[in-house]
Structures are given as C-alpha cells and as structure tokens.
Structure 1
Amino acid sequence: MKRYVLLLILLIGFQSFSYSKIIRVNNMEESIPEENLYSNLEDAYKNSVSGDTLYIEGSNIPYGDLNIEKRLTLIGQGYFTNENLGISSNKFETVVNRITLSDGSSGSKIYGLKFNQSGLANVITHVGNIVLSNCYFHFSIIVIGHNIENIVVNRSYFNLNGGLSVNGVTEPPQNFIFTNNIVVGNFYIKDESSGTITNNVFKGSDFSVGENANLQIHNNIFLGTEISDYLMPEEGSNISHNISVAAPFSDGNNNQINIVEADVFITGDNSSDGKFQIREGGPADGKGKDGIDIGPFGGPKPYKLSGLPDIPTIYDFSTSGFGNADGKLPITIKVSAN
C-alpha cells in the first residue's frame, strides 16, 4: 500500500519531468529494476541517463558517496523531520556523505539531502550551472577548477561552515547566488568572486568575502559580534538593508547596526531552523529591499522548514486497520502541496 501511495505522490509531484525517467532509491527495500527501484544509490546512478530524476527516500541508513558525470536531478526528503512536527509523516531523513559533481554533470540539481560528512567537504563541484537547494550541509561546498559560474545555493542549512571554498589555484566562482540560507558557522568566499548574497542569516563569528569581491549583499542578518571578524568589500549601494548585532558597515543604505539578536527572531520555536523565523514588528519585519522581510524566511522563495522539496508531501497517514464489508481498507491521507 505505501509503495502505491508514494508512486501516486511522485506522479503528481513530477509532472514537469514527464519526459525523463523517475528512479526510486530506498536502501531499506529490495531492488526491483523493472520498476526503477534500487536499494543502492550507485546502482540507481548506473541505470540512469542524463535528464533523469533520482528520488532518494528517507532511511535510517546513510546512502554514502556518489560521483556524478551526468545531468541529473536528485531529490531527498529533507532533514530535522523529528523537530518540525506535523509537516511530514515520514520521520526518516535522506542522509548522504559526499557528492562530487564532475565533468558532464553541469545542469544538475540537488534538493532535500542531508550531507553528514564530518571534517571534509560535503559537495565538491568541478562544473558550473549547479543548483543546491533545501539541503543540510554539515560542512562547506568546495569549488575546483576555472571559469566556474552560476552555482545556486539556496534555502539550505549549514551546521558548521558555509560558503564556496576553493582549492589550490582555483579561480573564485562567478555569478553565484547564495540566498535564503541559515549558516550557523562561519562563512567564506574567495576574494574577487562575483554574485549575490541575499536573505541569509549568518550566526558564526567570521564573515569573509574579500575586499575586492563584486557582490550584491542585501537583506541579511549578521550575528557575529566582533567587527574584526568581518571582511567584505568597501561599502556602497551593493551593501544595503542588512541587520547586524555589530557594526561591520554603517547605518546608511537602510542597514541596521547594533541590533539586539533577541529582538529579531520569534520566541517559543526551539527547532534548529524554526528559531530563525523573524518576529512580527521586529527590525527584520518588512524592512528589506523592496519591502520584503530580512532573513531566510523573506523574499519570493523563502526558506522552508526541514528542507522539504517543492513536491507534494504526505504529512498525515492513518487507517483503522480494519477492512469494511466489501473487503476494502479505508485510509486517510493528508497531503501538503508545498
């Protein structure tokens, strides 16, 4: 029964992928290749072609590493599912260690995965035109190569360090978008990079993007308390509508400095990501550029609790356990459109 309900949700949620194949990955079930179901992530990858979608279902067993050399879409079931109650009936997270995006993978999109590798990069990308969204990162993203452009990182949660780190003689990334993220640790981007940093919260002590970067920095909340820990370009119209508990920039351009952190966020929500929702009437409420809220829950594509992907999600599934007179088993399914 659960398998057919899941297939129904997938058919509803992936209408836009009607010309590609949907492959299920579940390491708590046996593989059924004729139904495009695999218990091993590597096997699912080997049986995919560019343009396919891998739906990696929640599990209490990590799925390991994967090197991608095709244009694929990977979709997991999010994180913090035991903290944000009532948003998903499946409390298992989709946990992977590391994904490497190699030549051939440009155009890939990754949603709803929990990267749990400790001490090393969670994602290593050698290519541009990549979307990383609604994910949990235990560590940072590493960019390796030259002329890497158009990396989108949004609506994600960084537990330790955020940003796009680089290795060796790698050039700084260009035209990247980093928006609607929660960064609990420090944040680093190589100097002379270009891109957009908007509607994020940065809780770590360090925020370093270099003095020569060409960045748009708007609608962010900075919680680091030491001005000496900030390194950013000279102030101008490209740095506006931000909030900081210190004063790494002036209060011109609609920036707010020396703000009390407790005035910014709601009280009473103790989930790891829910506690960063802004307080109504506070300094972030409607004070961002174009009148939107400052922080990750503002803007046209706000942060989504638990990183739930933008597909229908079953948040309640119930049955009496008893069939009726005609032999049918009544069930009740509640689905959120997300």
Structure 2
Amino acid sequence: MLKPLLLSTILLFSLVSTSVYAKILRVGYPGQAKEGIDYPDFQKAHDAAATGDVIQIYQHYGSISGGNVTKKLTIIGFGYLLDKNTGLQAINTPDTNAIYLYFQAGSKGSSVQGLYISGLQIYTNDITVSRCRISYAYLYNNESPLSGLTFKGCYFDGNLQETSQVTKISNLYIVNNIFRSGISLPNSSGFFANNISAYYYSNINLNSFLVKNNIFYDNSIAANGNIFENNIFFFADNATIIGTGNKFSVDMSTVFTNWNNSTIEADNQLTLKAGSPAKGAGKKNDGKVTDAGIFGGEEGDVYKLSGIPDVPAIYKLTAPSKTANTNPYTISVGVRSNN
C-alpha cells in the first residue's frame, strides 16, 4: 500500500498549501479506508463534503458512476492516456473507467481537472474544466444565461455543444483543447484560442468569438460574427473567415509529429514537427510570438500531455516488496511539479 499512500501524501501537501481550510476526501483509494475521508463512489463523497472541499479521485478507481455537483468543490484526478504517455505517473493505467459530472445550481465556482469524464453537463456559471478527457459536454442555461465557463487543456472525444434551449452564453474561455468531434456554440461568445480541431467531419459552429492561434482540419466552419487571427486551416480561404494572419490549404502532415489523417489515438501525436508551419504562427495576448495549437498560447494554458493535474506527482517509485526483510528499507521516489 506504499504507492497510494505516497501519492495521497504528495497531493495532500500541495492542496493544503493553497486551500488551508479545505478538507480532502478520497474516492477509490486502494489503501486502508479512513472514516470521514474515504468513500466508495463520487456521489457519497460529494454529499459528505462541505463547500470549498477537495475530492481526490484515484486513477485505478474501478467503477465509480459520478453524480450531481451542487456545491463549490475542487475535483482532482490523476490524468488520462497514461498508458500512451508513460512515465508521467507511477501507475500507467489505460483509460478503462470514466465518471459523469453534472454541475447543477449551487456548484458555481467549482473546478475539475485530471479526470476521464464520460459525460459533462453544466447548468450554472463560473465552472472551470481543465486537463480532462471528455466524452461529451452539454451546456444548459436554464433560468439565466450562462457565463464564465472555462475549458482549458482538455481532450474531447465527443461534442462540446449548447443544448437546444440555450439563448445566450457569454464569456466562454476555450483554450488549448483537442477536439476530435464537433463544436456547436451558435448562441455563445468568448475567446477560442490555441485549440486543435482534428477531425475532418467535425462541423464547427461558432458565433461572436475571437478565434486565434488554432489549427483546423475541418471541412465546415459556420463562423458568422467571429474574428479570425493567426489560425492554420486545412481548407482553402473562403468569405466566412474574416481576420488577419491566417494560413489556408495547409497539409496537416507538415504540421504534426505523427499525423494520421485525423486518426488520433494519443495526444502526443499532435506535437509540432520540426519546421511546422504552426511554429511561431500565433500571437499571445501581449502581441509576442507563440506557436499555433495546444502547446502555444498563454503560459498557464499550455496543454499538458495526459492531462496531468497541476499538483506534484510521483512519476517513479522503487520500493521493496511486502516480504522484504532488510532494515532500513531503501525507497527511491521521483517527484515532479506539473504547473
């Protein structure tokens, strides 16, 4: 039980330093459970938590269904695609389990990072989703218009979209994400930067966004009301793309390290190859040159492989087996910061 204990301890020190009064609850902890700290599934942990608490979900958590979030919480996992990017965590498990999260009224100000999410639904304002793998994400505005939603450094397998009853969503911040499917935000506005849309038939519908430093492999972009700056496009120029510094008819095989005609099995395929036309093609908010795509942009937004959360992580651990009888034990631990 040494590995989970050490992982928990590292995360504990980091989280306590930034959230002194928060309690940390654990889901799927493989060690000996402690009453009031460890819970068998997410909803039980959520219901026991107080506003401002942290819920830590372990990477080998088995079947945890997820649930409704009705409190302001910080939810942290261990990343995704860890078997594709080995050496980032001490345990390199494949993505075999995912949870769903529905951010309801009362959860305003919550954040989640480092999780594999089977279904994400957002009904309230000021939710931050970062460094997550997401099967789909639906946005609702129910009684009042949504605003202040952030999607940063995520890996989308399915659509990011408004639901049919949405009338307005403002101040969306969508940066440094990988999209393997569609984006449908026709009633929204905000900032859309340094993303990669990697599927030819994805269909993107944006309206009233500043769209900059992105890489688009799509054949269809409904883009009325947007301003496009310093983007890379696979398709040829057309009248709907209004802006400056854009590049058209770019062969994606010249852009990425391991481009395979939009067959994306791991995020590491989308690093930029030497001489890529995306290198130095973008501009930061202060006007300084940056790369287009997920590894460029603002310093705190740059994509992290496997969605490793921004807390210290043990990426290497060597310890004696349970039957070892030497005294003292020799333990080797490798720890890195993931800011």
- Partner deviation per Cα, 1:208-238 (whole Å, 9 max, x = no partner): 335xx221100000002x3xx2200256xx3
CA contact (8 A) 2:3 2:317 kept: no
Counterpart of 1:135 (choices 127, 132, 136) is 132
Counterpart of 1:176 (choices 172, 175, 187) is 172
Cα shift at 1:251: 9.2
CA contact (8 A) 2:28 2:62 kept: no
SS in 2 for 1:98: strand
Cα shift at 1:143: 2.2
CA contact (8 A) 1:323 1:330 kept: no
CA 53–94 in structure 1, closer or farther in 2 if over 3 Å, else same: farther
User: Does the alignment pair 1:261 with 2:256?
Assistant: no
Q: How many residues were matched structurally?
A: 320
Look up the match of 1:164. 161
Cα shift at 1:94: 8.7
- 2:51 & 2:149 partners in 1: Cα distance? 19
Superposed, which structure 2 residues align to 1:1-338 within 5 Å?
1-14=2-15, 15-26=17-28, 28=30, 31-34=33-36, 36-59=37-60, 61-92=62-93, 95-116=97-118, 122-145=119-142, 146-161=144-159, 163-168=160-165, 170-189=166-185, 191-204=186-199, 205-210=201-206, 213-224=207-218, 226=219, 229-234=220-225, 238-247=227-236, 249=238, 253-267=244-258, 272-289=266-283, 290-299=288-297, 300=299, 301-321=301-321, 322-324=324-326, 327-338=327-338
Show structure 2 runs of 5+ residues with no match.
none
Cα shift at 1:262: 0.4
Q: Which amino acid aligns with 2:254?
A: D
Cα shift at 1:323: 4.3
- 1:13 & 1:293 partners in 2: Cα distance? 31
Cα shift at 1:95: 3.8
Percent of aligned positions that are identical? 26
Cα shift at 1:336: 1.3
Cα shift at 1:187: 1.7
CA contact (8 A) 1:246 1:258 kept: yes
CA contact (8 A) 1:265 1:278 kept: yes
Show structure 1 runs of 5+ residues with no match.
117-121
CA 285–219 in structure 1, closer or farther in 2 if over 3 Å, else same: same
Q: Which amino acid aligns with 1:43?
A: K
TM-score, with length taken from structure 2 = 0.88
Cα shift at 1:31: 3.8
- 1:3 & 1:230 partners in 2: Cα distance? 46
CA contact (8 A) 1:94 1:112 kept: no
